[in-house]
């Protein structure tokens, strides 16, 4: 009977020791997990911008038309438009410029006063991040080779780590090793 009484469960002291060890382990793991989340957000934002720029170049090559990517301040609007700024954190647009052959809805995305642009993609803001372009103009990919003006993007989700994307004159998009100009 005494043996059965000792095997009933854990004591309060054992439970408190286990909880203390768990709290210590969690306090060590949480900062590393936060860094992992920030790195994941940085990678996601970098990949999203890179994919949009590459999509614009491919569309320009396949359509034989000018395709642009620009910053926008109204990504959630019914008819978003370009914003001339170096701050792309509020989202961006991919669109065909002066698309005379397009069927469907065409609007004045680039602000030239003509409703001749066809929206291909809208990317909404990613939250607390900074995304800065080296110039304020849209990135314009032109046929027949998909060339564009050279531009550099600096992407940050915190004050520390950053990534840089570069659009080369050939239209290729590359991840830069350093963000030093």
Q: How confident is the model at residue 111 (pLDDT cuts 50, 70, 90)?
A: confident
pTM score of the predicted model: 0.79
> How many other C-beta atoms lie within 10 A of the C-beta of residue 85?
17
Mean pLDDT score of the chain: 86
pLDDT at residue 110 greater than cutoff 60: yes
Distance of CA 41 to the CA centre of its chain: 8
- pLDDT (mean) for 34-49: 88
In the structure encoding, which two tokens stand for residue 23, read together?
A: 């709290």
Give 108's contacts (C-beta < 8 A, 6+ positions apart).
81, 114, 115, 116, 117
Measured between alpha carbons, how far is 24 from 152 in angstroms, rounded to an integer?
A: 43
| Residue spans per domain, the chain | 11-176
Q: DSSP for 65-85, please give it.
A: S-EEEEE-S-TTSSS-----S
Task: Compute the C-alpha angle 21/38/124, nearest 5°.
Answer: 140
Q: State the Cα–Cα distance between residues 105 and 120, nearest whole angstrom.
A: 11
The string of pLDDT tens digits covering residues 114-125 is 777 888 999 998
pLDDT at residue 40, rounded to an integer: 87
Residue 176 has a pLDDT of 86
Using 50, 70 and 90 to split pLDDT, how confident is the model at 147?
very high
Residue 76 contacts by C-beta under 8 Å, 6 or more apart in sequence?
124
Q: Please give the average per-residue pLDDT across 21-31, as a whole number.
A: 86
The model's pLDDT over 53-104, given as tens digits with 9 standing for 90+, comes to: 999 999 999 999 999 999 998 888 888 888 999 999 999 999 998 765 555 5
CATH number given to 11-176: 3.55.40.10
């Amino acid at each position: 009977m005494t043996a059965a009484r000792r095997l009933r469960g854990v004591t309060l002291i054992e439970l408190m020791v286990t909880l203390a060890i768990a709290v210590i382990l969690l306090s060590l793991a949480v900062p590393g997990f936060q860094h992992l989340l920030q790195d994941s957000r940085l990678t996601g934002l970098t990949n999203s911008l890179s994919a949009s720029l590459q999509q614009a170049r491919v569309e320009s090559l396949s359509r034989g038309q000018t395709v642009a990517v620009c910053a926008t301040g109204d990504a959630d609007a019914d008819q978003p438009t370009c914003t001339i700024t170096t701050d792309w954190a509020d989202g961006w647009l991919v669109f065909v410029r002066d698309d005379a052959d397009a069927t469907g809805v065409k609007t004045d995305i680039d602000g030239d006063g003509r409703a001749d642009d066809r929206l291909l993609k809208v990317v909404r803001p990613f939250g607390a991040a900074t995304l800065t372009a080296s110039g304020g103009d849209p990135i314009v990919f032109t046929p027949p080779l998909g060339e564009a003006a050279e531009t550099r993007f600096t992407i940050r989700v915190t004050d520390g780590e950053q990534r840089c994307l570069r659009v080369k004159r050939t239209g290729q998009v590359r991840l830069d090793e350093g963000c030093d100009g």
